[in-house]
Structure 1
Amino acid sequence: MGSKIISLLVVGVLTAYYVYTPLPDNIEEPWKVTGLFMAANTINALAHFGELLGISHYLKTLNFFVSLLDVPARSDENVTVTETTFNNVPVRVYIPNRKSEALRRAIFYIHGGGYCLGSFANLNYDTLSRQTVNRLDAVVISTNYRLSPQYHFPSQFEDIYNSLKWFLRPDVLKKYGVDPERIGVSGDSAGGNSAAAISQQLLDDPDVKIKLKIQSLIYPSLQFLDMDLPSTRENGHFPALTKSLLVRFWSEYFTTDRSLEKAMFFNQHVPVESSYLFKFVNWSSLLPEKFKKGHTYNSPTYGTSELSKKYPGFLDVRAAPLLAEDNKLRSLPLTYVITCQHDVIRDEGVMYVTRLRNAGVRVTHNHIEDGFHGILSFYGLKITDRLKNQYLSWLSENL
């Protein structure tokens, strides 16, 4: 009898641990959010447990659960949905069914997931693409890319960039009835990283004559140098994206060698010879006062050159767009940046806004005071609907 009571108590404590997530006072619909976090925490624990037992790689388990939300490419009365490849990269194409005499706008969308999870087939991305088509009467190209841990940088970047370059070919734009002067790139989280990176890369590509009209970055992650930002300190344990999960995603983006993960977590991965790069991510000069909140800037603790020689990707501007020189930034298109207050990578987006504005780029910064990372992917929340509406309104007005 005693063992049964103890077992019940243990189960009760574990359940309470997953059910109860301390939330900031301004979070709307806290019980819904807590329930969603409970599910995410449980999946996260199962993935860790499976890896500990040697059953499956942690990220492969996470991606298995994420893939349960995948939906097929189904057309309806408003949109025709097909799947094809652009330069051997899988894409899902959404075309409005309504007749149009004029060429249409187009959005090239890049899904998030830390370069380790997700697909264009995810229910939330499929829904957003359909909503974009219906609201803007636009063509949407939603691209896939190879994922970690099987593949590492620059595979993901190359897939996305090659897919976009294929789409920007005049014959492809003509096939889909797209106006070459009204094309934008958009992405969330890791997808926001790629949207920023490919926008920069296009500027120097002599093979691409068509220019992007806009870029839209939804709570983007934009650098890997400084893992001790104010937002990291404040939100490092926030369940949507913890610091430990963030570091695992980004280290796996470059290698399965866990030594990089450990060095990144303790901010000891950048060698002293790369110290000049910190000027591009120095939050003490790039963050407005409201985001500093009395935090003290800690000078970087440098690591050895070993990791950067083995895995130079985390110092590559194609992986960390915040490292771009000012003369590159000033040529970028009209930009929309969404950041969330309760997000471990909030400050990366805010710093990019500052740097773009300093370079003369027109930027709309939409900061969500009660937002948290990944809200586009949380189903049934009022804040998700509001964010989508703000995002689509900006696209409608500016693309």
Structure 2
Amino acid sequence: MGRKTILFLIVGVLGAYYGYTPLPDNIEEPWKLMWVTTCLKTMTHLGHFAELLGIGHFIDIARFFMSIQEVPPTSDENVTVMETTFNNVPVRIYLPKRKSETLRRGLFYIHGGGWCMGSAGFFDIDFLSRRTAVILDAVVISTNYRLAPEYHFPSQFEDVYNALKWFLRQDVLDKYSIDPERIGISGESAGGNLAAAVTQQLIDDPDVKIKLKTQSLIYPALQSLDLDLPSYRENANFLGLTKSLGVRLWSGYFTKDRSLEKAMFFNQHVPVESSHLFKFVNWSSLLPEKFKKGHFYNSPTYGNSKLAKMYPGFLDVRAAPLLADDNRLHNLPLTYVITCQYDILRDDGIMYVTRLQNAGVKVTHNHIEDGFHGALVYRGFKIGYRIENQYMSWLSENL
């Protein structure tokens, strides 16, 4: 066999591996999604390769690619965009230019990125914030926060919470002409985790007099106790957010120690003394029957308590909002949850919907049967605009 033939075979195999991903029949625009998947695979594998060679952390490669998509705070004919800090946390503010006879709605937005990537200046987040400001005639505050692996929990939580508390001061609301009774919070993925966590924290904070009217959680990550949910099993190798990457991002939120990642992957990280927490994430009782079909609940396999003592964050309700008890959940605001069928985080969101409803919270659950993780912020996808329209419609009616 000649060298050209061997080279052709190698290129063909690599092309098939990176360029072709079998997709469910109901996925819209499959070839467009395959292209995005190819880019994500390439970025992830380059990162792991660089890490293997000792060049740097795999997140450094991902951040490089994402930094290319950063855009400056540029105003346009519809929105004034500016950057400032709220309690020393960088935020980007979007102010509608058209005149308003009344105070405007306010929306506090938190970007995703696995607690280690992304920013308010990322093109897709900036685009969504602009559209939100225009469509809802709302002031949008898009916050940044410190990122792993340089910073670990609770740094991300604290940054978002401190920025949110600053935003909810009456003098700040007056400055931007925001109605204190029409303020919501939104976040996607890791941002959904942070949105849920800080919204819970506000309930018990006596210093915060102005409360949130709504919370919108977009395919949120809400717990890392049980990473063997049906959604993790079904979507373990689906597109960008695979189980292996999801577990690495979760463990990386708490530490650089890869032993936690290994224990999490095999669901052997929760010590027996924390077994009482599993009742809050027991999918056998919290998922509707359609999502349990074909799956059997495995009783927890308890891990060494050493990891929990070294990295207690994964047992902290501020990192895992699903661990909140019913008394705390009962006082949460009007809630909107988006989940996607082809997403390892699907069941986190669905379990939270069940628990909120059981606690008496009014919840709207929008499950996207042909959806996948990141769908809202993938510009140019029909499904993204469809989800956006539903999201904006709910905010328009409820915020």
TM-score normalised by length of structure 1: 0.99
Aligned to 1:144: 144
Aligned to 2:162: 162
Kept after mapping to 2: 8 A contact 1:240/1:372 = no
Matches within 5 A, 1:296-311: 296-311=296-311
1:12 CA drift (Å): 1.5
SS of residue in 2 equivalent to 1:182: strand
1:273 CA drift (Å): 0.1
Is residue 2:218 matched to residue 1:218? yes
Q: Which amino acid aligns with 1:143?
A: T
CA distance in 1, matches of 2:3, 2:310: 52
SS of residue in 2 equivalent to 1:299: coil
1:4 CA drift (Å): 2.9
Matches within 5 A, 1:43-58: 43-58=43-58
1:35 CA drift (Å): 1.1
CA distance in 1, matches of 2:295, 2:241: 21
CA distance in 2, matches of 1:50, 1:242: 20
Q: Which amino acid aligns with 1:256?
A: K
Over the matched positions of the two proteins, sequence identity in percent amounts to 73
SS of residue in 1 equivalent to 2:340: strand
Q: Which amino acid aligns with 2:222?
A: L
Task: After superposing the two structures, state which structure 1 stretch, 8-17 or 349-358, moved more.
Answer: 8-17
1:100 CA drift (Å): 1.1
SS of residue in 1 equivalent to 2:63: helix
Aligned to 2:41: 41
Q: Which amino acid aligns with 2:134?
A: N
CA distance in 1, matches of 2:21, 2:104: 45
Kept after mapping to 2: 8 A contact 1:124/1:376 = no
CA distance in 2, matches of 1:372, 1:112: 15
1:8 CA drift (Å): 2.2
Matches within 5 A, 1:59-138: 59-138=59-138
Kept after mapping to 1: 8 A contact 2:128/2:377 = no
Matches within 5 A, 1:1-399: 2-399=2-399
SS of residue in 2 equivalent to 1:216: strand
CA distance in 2, matches of 1:212, 1:240: 32
Q: How big is each residue's C-alpha offset from its partner over 1:319-359, in whole Å with a ceiling of 9 and x where there is no partner?
A: 00000000000000000000000001100000000000000
* C-alpha RMSD over aligned residues: 0.8
> How many residues matched?
399
Q: Which amino acid aligns with 1:178?
A: I
CA distance in 1, matches of 2:239, 2:137: 36
TM-score normalised by length of structure 2: 0.99
Task: After superposing the two structures, state which structure 1 stretch, 32-41 or 215-224, moved more.
Answer: 32-41
SS of residue in 2 equivalent to 1:152: coil
CA distance in 2, matches of 1:108, 1:378: 20
